[in-house]
Structure 1
C-alpha cells in the first residue's frame, strides 16, 4: 500500500478519484460481461459453504466490484483498495491477549511496576485498583523483577480480575475517566504492564503462548491463580480463505486489533497478513523498551487513544492512508475507505461502518454492532454466526432504541443512524 505523504496529497487523490467507485455486477444476460465471464476472471472464495446464508455472495460481490477484475484495463489504481479486520474472535476463536497474559502469569513473567505503584501502568487506574494490586503483589518482588504468580494465587487472582472484570477481587472499579469511544483502559493495560520489555522479548513470549493455545484441545481450560480460564485458540478457515481471495484480487488485507501490537504481530502471519499490515495497541519506546505510554493518533495524546471504536478508524487513517491530526478521527473520503471490514464487537463499529463494499459481523451479541448490522441501512451488512461454537439466539431484542450505544462518558444512549433517526430494537435473527 502506497502511503500518502501528506493530507494535501490525500485530498488531491480523493479529488482525482483514482479508485474506481463501486458499480453493480453486470446482469446475467449481458452480452459484454456475463456473470459467467466475470466469475472466470475474478478470484473466487474457495470455501463459500462455510458462510451463512448469502454472506459469501455479498462478500464476493464486493471483491468483484472493487478488486482487480473491475480495474479499467486491468491496471491497478494509484491507491489500492484495502480491507480491515479485527483479530480476536473475528479471524480466530478466542482472545490472544487473554492467552498471552495467562501464559505470563503461569510462568512468572509479569514484572513488579516502578515503585510498586500500579498507577504507573495506567493513568486511568483508580486508587482502589492500585491499592488492591499493591496489597496482593507489592511485597512479592522488587520493582522490575518478576512476580511469582505461578505460585502466589492472591496476586495472580487480582491481575486476572483486572483483566477480565475491570474490578478488584472485592468488586471495586479499577479504571475511570477515559473516553469510551477512543480507548478501553483495561485493553490498553494488558500491553502497559509489559513496560520494560523489548518488543522482540514480547513477541517471543507471545509465540510460546500461541503454541500452547493452538496445541490445547478445543474446549480445554487452564488454572490461573485459583480461577479456571479458556486455554485454546483456533484460526477460522473461512477467514483465511477470505484473506487469500482478497490478496489475489488486489485488495490488501490489514489487521486492526485492540490487542497489543506485538501479540498481533505473532498471530497474523499464519492468516496471511504480515507485520507491515498489522495494527495493534502500540507503545512508545524508550531506549528500545516499551514505556507503557501509547502511540498517539488524531491529535489525542497522554494515552487517550488506542485501536478501539473511533480509535480504530483513527489508526487506519493514520497507518494506511497517512492522515495526520484531528481529521484522522473522522471518516476518510469515500473512495479512500476500506472496501471490506470485519469485526465481532462494539469495539469495531466505526471501522465497520466506514467500509464501502461489505460490513462482515460475527455475532457475539454486542448491542451497538448488532443493532447496526440488523438495521442494514445500506444493504451491505453480512451477519455471520461464529464459525466455531456459535452463540444461541439472544433471548431479548437488542435495546437499540434505549441503551445500545455507549457515549464518550460511558453512558448508555439510543443507537442512531447517520441521519439522526433512532434504530428500533432488533431481534437476533442470525445465530447458532
Structure 2
C-alpha cells in the first residue's frame, strides 16, 4: 500500500505545518493565536469558546483553520486563491441520529410508501424469501404506484422495517443475498432509497422537512413507535459542528456534505447547518419523468442504473467527492489523488466515512460511535492529524474491549474483515477506546 506515504511525501509545506499544529496544539485558544502566523494577524475567524469539545480538540481545530484557511496571508499565498475543501458526513456527524430513518418513519406513519410493481423488482439483491414476506404482509390489493396503508397496517410496516433495519424477514430469513463490493455499497442502504421510488425529488424533500419538524420538536432521548418497532424519535444539530462549519466557511474553506442518505432528504436538513443544497452529495436515484426510480446514479467506471453497485459509502464517498468536487471521471475517481486534489479536512462517525476522512491532508475528525475501522484509523493516528471526539449528545460509553484492528480492522471487498495495515505494511495493533 502507498496511501499513507502519499499523505506525507506529497504534501505541500502548508499541509506539513498543519500536521505539526495538530500534534502540538497549545492548550488555549489565546496561546494558539500567539503561536501561528495566520492567527497572530487576527484575520482568521475563531471557534466559539462557549461550546464544549473534548480535551484540546477545539484548539487543535483552530490551529488547522489558522494554518490552512484563506484568512491567513500564508494560506492565500500558498494556495494561490484555491479554496481548501472540507467534507463532513451528515448523520451522527453533523446531527445526532439519522435523518433517513426519521423520514422513513414519517412516511410509514403517513402512508407515503408506494406499492411497487413487485417487491422483487425493487432491489437486485432482495431474496425470494423477502419478496414473499413483503408481498404477504403488504398484500396485492393496492395497485402499483398507490400508497400502502402503513399507518394502520402494522404487518406491512413491520415487514418493511425488519428488512431494512435487520436485513432479514420477520421470520428470520435473510433479506439480501448475492455478491457486492463491500467497500462501495450496502444492499439495505440501496433498498431504503428504493422505497422512495415513485415520488419526485421535491416531494421527498418535503416529506423530510415534515419529519425534520417533528424530530426537532421531540425531546432529546425520546423514541417513537413505528408499527411495533421502536425507533429514535428525535434529531438534533450538533452546535459544535455548526460552529465549526460556519468558521471554516468564514476562513475560506469550501464545505461539502457527503452522505449515504438519499440526497433529497439531506437537502431538507443542511440549511440548518449553513450548507446550501449545491454542496450536498448523497445517494442519487435515477429520475425519469420527474420521479425517483429504483435505479441509482453510478460513479467512476460504474454506470448509472446498475442497481446501486456504488453508493456514497466507504470508497464510494471518495469516488463521489472526486467526481463532483474535482471533476475526476472513470476508474481514476476511486483512487487516492495527489494532495492538490484531496480534501483538506474530513469528519465522520462510522465505517462508511473512513476512506474520505482518511484522505484529508490537513486534519481528520472522528466522532466516536465505537465503529471499528474508523476508530482503528483514528487511534493509530499514523499521520498525527487525527482527532477523536465523543458524540456531543448522549455519547456512547467506553468500549470495554480493544478494537480488533490487528485481526478484523479492515473490511475487504468480499465482506471478510482482515488486519488493518499501514502504508509500510505493518499491522495496526489493537486499540483501546480512550475518548468517550
Task: Work out whether the TM-score is over 0.5.
Answer: yes
1:22 and 2:15 are equivalent in the alignment: yes
- Per the alignment, residue 304 of structure 1 pairs with 309
- Per the alignment, residue 108 of structure 1 pairs with 111
* Contact 1:18 1:78 (8 Å CA) reproduced: no
Deviation at 1:286, TM superposition (A): 0.8
* TM-aligned CA distance change 1:78 to 1:324, over 3 Å: farther
- Equivalent position to 1:50, from 49, 52, 56: 52
- Per the alignment, residue 376 of structure 1 pairs with 381
Mapped to 1, the partners of 2:176 and 2:191 lie a distance apart of: 10
- 1:139-182 CA-partner distances (Å, limit 9, x unpaired): 35111111111111111001111221111112222123221100
* Contact 1:360 1:384 (8 Å CA) reproduced: yes
- Per the alignment, residue 184 of structure 2 pairs with 182
Mapped to 1, the partners of 2:377 and 2:258 lie a distance apart of: 20
- Equivalent position to 1:282, from 281, 284, 301: 284
Mapped to 2, the partners of 1:312 and 1:71 lie a distance apart of: 32
Partner of 1:351, secondary structure, is: helix
* TM-aligned CA distance change 1:363 to 1:18, over 3 Å: closer
Deviation at 1:71, TM superposition (A): 4.5
- Equivalent position to 2:422, from 404, 417, 429: 417
Superposition TM-score, scaled by structure 1 size: 0.90
Mapped to 1, the partners of 2:141 and 2:364 lie a distance apart of: 48
Deviation at 1:411, TM superposition (A): 1.0
* Contact 1:86 1:344 (8 Å CA) reproduced: yes
Mapped to 1, the partners of 2:159 and 2:98 lie a distance apart of: 19
Partner of 2:196, secondary structure, is: coil
- Equivalent position to 2:396, from 374, 391, 394: 391
- Per the alignment, residue 349 of structure 2 pairs with 344
- Per the alignment, residue 433 of structure 2 pairs with 428
- Equivalent position to 2:407, from 402, 413, 416: 402
1:150 and 2:155 are equivalent in the alignment: no
1:316 and 2:321 are equivalent in the alignment: yes
Mapped to 1, the partners of 2:197 and 2:80 lie a distance apart of: 41
- 1:335-363 CA-partner distances (Å, limit 9, x unpaired): 22111100000000100110111110000
- Per the alignment, residue 10 of structure 1 pairs with none
- Per the alignment, residue 171 of structure 2 pairs with 170
* Contact 1:64 1:70 (8 Å CA) reproduced: yes
* Contact 2:36 2:67 (8 Å CA) reproduced: no
| Gaps in structure 2 of 5+ consecutive residues | 1-9, 27-33
* Contact 1:21 1:335 (8 Å CA) reproduced: no
Superposition TM-score, scaled by structure 2 size: 0.90
The 4+ residue runs of structure 1 with deviation greater than 6 A are 17-20, 25-28
- 1:55-77 CA-partner distances (Å, limit 9, x unpaired): 11221222122111335584673
Mapped to 2, the partners of 1:228 and 1:68 lie a distance apart of: 46
- Per the alignment, residue 253 of structure 1 pairs with 255
Deviation at 1:88, TM superposition (A): 0.3
Deviation at 1:133, TM superposition (A): 1.0
| Gaps in structure 1 of 5+ consecutive residues | 1-16
RMSD: 2.1
Deviation at 1:334, TM superposition (A): 1.1
1:365 and 2:370 are equivalent in the alignment: yes
